[in-house]
Amino acid sequence: MKLRPLAARQVLGSLVWPILALAIILIFNAFFTPVMFKLEIKDSHLFGSLIDILNRAAPVMLMAIGMTLVIATGGIDISVGSMSAVSGSFTTVLLVVYGVPLAWAIVIGLVVVTMLGLWNGFMVSSIGVQPIVTTLIMWVLARGIATLFANGETILFENPRYEFIANGFLFGIPFPITIVAAVFAITQLLTRRTALGLFVESVGCNPVASRYSGVNVRAIKQTVYVFTAFLAGIAGLINTANIKVADVTRSGDGLELDAILAVVIGGTSMDGGKFSLTGTIIGAIVMQTLTTTILTNGVPVQVTRVIKALVVVFIILIQSETFHSQVRSLFRRRAHEA
């Protein structure tokens, strides 16, 4: 494996694929569903399909930002969907059943989710259990905790301040987009303007060498899982506030694949060692645009899972060295024959 220095050209180069994918879907829409590009300002609020896509992508974007860092360290977190159900369940139950003030309910919900992330991180970094197994356990455990806390019921609520998290506007922009922008800016600053990003990449490249050169591998791994859990918690609040129901069995179900897809489409390698947060954001937009396109063209919802699975297979092939050489030899053979 060659060591590749991160030149600016290469960083930009890695963004070519996700941008191209987005462009293809948008061009498709320009022909078949031009309504999608209509933007308007109503009561000084921005409205339109494109804004809607961003807004709907917000929970996945948040999870995917955390997932990017986890994957960059060579790990994976498939419990994000279930963990997002935990924050929704705790906050809503505390608010509705126990009458806890909203701010405290949100804080407690997020703290509980963060504790789950702490456990994930502990198992992976200190005990050395494979990330896939640790988070698979959490995938089931978190959903169980969410269900038991809500007593297995779906809880409806009416609370304008809670709903603001999903449906409110800040400076004319939907609030979830503001949250994502803030989280993205902070993460980007921390990872690219400090050495943290480099540490994350070095842990993903070679944990043993990183340890010998003085990087605290455990702390880095621990941190990324906690961070991901926290972001999944916020995503869960947005999801719950959006539909005004804490649906513990379905909230966040299957979002882990969307988040992983967003990361991988964005050019972050599944092997770890390098990441691109900007790519991830574009990847999440690609995923949501794809879903919206599928739905607006009248394809049943059930099919989206099949299509997403096929997209994963396609990406696996694109990332594979063997596939590259197979394609290359195919073209070479053609050239010889001609």
Partner 1 sequence: MKLKLDKKYVPIAATLAVAALLYLGVGVKYPNFLSLRVFVNFFRDNAFLGVIAIGMTLVIISGGIDLSVGSMIAFVGILCAQLITNLGVNPLLAFAIALLCGSLIGFLMGCLIQIYKAPPFIVTLAGMFFCRGLANVISLESIPIDNPLFIKILKFGIYLPGSIKVPTTVLAFLAVFVVFLYLMHYTKFGRNVYAIGGSSQSALLMGLRIGRTRILIYTLSGFLSSLAGIVYILNTPAGNSLAGVGIELDAIACVVIGGTLLTGGVGFLAGTFIGLLIQAIIKTFLTFSNLSTWWTKIAIGVLIMVFILLQRFFSQASSLMRTQAVVEFKNPRPDAAGRASTGAS
Residues that bind partner 1 (CB under 8 A): 1, 74-76, 78, 123-124, 127-133, 136-141, 143-145, 147-148, 152, 204-208, 254, 257, 260, 270-273, 300, 302-310, 312-313, 316-317, 319-323
State the Cα–Cα distance between residues 175 and 186, nearest whole angstrom. 17
Cβ closest to partner 1, residue 158 vs residue 321 = 321
**Cα separations in angstroms, 194 against 65, 74, 110:** 17, 20, 26
Token reading at 108: 């407690």
Specify the residue, 234 or 265, whose C-beta has the smaller distance to partner 1: 265
What's the closest the beta carbon of residue 85 comes to partner 1, in angstroms? 12
Cα 165 to Cα 290: distance, rounded to the nearest angstrom: 25
Show the beta-strand stretches assigned E in 84-224: 155-156, 169-170, 173-174
| Surface-to-core class of residue 102, CB atoms within 10 Å of its CB (0-12 exposed, 13-18 middle, 19+ buried) | middle
Closest CB 186 distance from partner 1, rounded Å:
26
| Nearest distance, CB of residue 265 and partner 1, angstroms | 13
Choice between 55 and 210, CB closer to partner 1: 210
**Cα(266)–Cα(284) distance, rounded to whole angstroms?**
8
**Which residue's CB is nearer to partner 1, number 30 or number 148?**
148
Q: How far is the CB of 232 from partner 1 (least distance, A)?
A: 17
Shorter beta-carbon distance to partner 1: residue 113 or 260: 260
CB neighbours of 282 closer than 8 A, spacing ≥ 6? Answer: 15, 18, 19, 22, 265, 266
Residue 24 or 316 having the CB closest to partner 1? 316
Beta carbon of residue 70, minimum distance to partner 1 (angstroms, whole number): 10
Closest distance to partner 1 from the beta carbon of 324 (Å): 10
By residue count, the chain amounts to: 338
Task: Name all contacts of 326-334 with Cβ < 8 Å and 24+ positions apart.
Answer: none
